[in-house]
Amino acid sequence: MTARHIVIAVAPELVLLDACGPLEAFWRAELTMVAAAGKSGNAAEPVAYRTTVASIDGGVLQTFPGLPVVTQRLDSLDDQPIDTLIVPGVPIDDHCTLQPELVAWIRRRAPEARRVCSVCTGAFYLAAAGLLDGRRATTHWREAPHLARRFPNVQVDADPIFIRDVGHGEERRVVWTSAGVTAGIDLALALIEEDVGHAVAMQAARRLVVFMKRPGGQSQFSAALAAQASAGGPFEALHSWMAGHLRDDLSVERLAERAQMSPRTFARRYVDEVGRTPAKTVSALRLEAAARALAESRRPLKRIALDCGFGSEQNLRRAFVGRFGVLPLEYRERFESAVVPQRAAVSAVVAAG
């Protein structure tokens, strides 16, 4: 196997985890492949991946958390093929200026890469280079409206953890974009799975103690977080109680009693404070808990339905089809956690790791 050259092209004020998350995932996959091949793990003889972190000026680059990193000069890669180009994010605000030299370098080298990717606000660089025109793309949920305003030709979708867009017409290059910060790990695991198979990606996920495929989208951070947005407000304690009593009666009347308000006053004040009805919060909390249970356990559907307040398997199925477009067991197969033993036989590659 010819090692794939992964180039992570970084800008000043790099969000460090945007880069080191994927780097760690690729390194873990490399360790698995090296072990399977019976090699020593010498970085000079990569089996699956060779990674380079580079910037326009090279040398020491200050990152957003403050930890400096050493980078190569991007122009030193001019005679080297690039399999995968990844652009991590930087802090974004309405007044930020993208580094024009990096935008120009991406525009020049991207056509030579097999695939181009961004992590978090790295999507702004891909968009500025014209690589996202007419494509679906995602970024950190907080910056998605900004991306849509600044680059109206991009079809911004704020919910997915990552998006793989194959293009259309003559522009068939595969472009991946991902959500914020830790979503770079999700993206890297998907790339690894595409390159060398599910078994290696699963082993990398297990070593990182993360989901192989994280359940849900950015909106999962989520029902609980949306409820907690009013932290310090009148419903903070109520939300904590709701999350611990999903199988109980969580009707407006019961919640109003818990909040020591009349049902009418409670319903009105809740919408004013939280921005959604109590029923929608209850539904979202129950669905999120069920999704987590499916991904992290082998509990039967009937038990999950009862524990999460759906009452019956039929109600659970209806909720999953309505929200995710798949049945609960299909969801489990797709998003099974790395910490759950696989039913299929463990491959020789994984065994070697």
Give the active site residues: 120
Nearest to 29 by CA among 211, 213, 214, 206: 206
β-strands 174-178, 162-165 pairing: antiparallel
* Residue 194 vs residues 10, 70, 81, 341: alpha-carbon distances, Å: 24, 29, 19, 21
Q: Running DSSP on this structure, what letter comes out for residue 42?
A: -
Residue 178 and residue 44: Cα distance in Å, rounded?
30
Q: Tell me whether strands 69-73 and 59-61 are parallel, antiparallel or unpaired.
A: antiparallel
In DSSP terms, 175 is beta-bridged to: 116, 165
Q: Residue 241 — φ and ψ, nearest 5°?
A: -65, -40
Q: How far is CA 157 from CA 118, 129, 224, in A?
A: 14, 19, 21
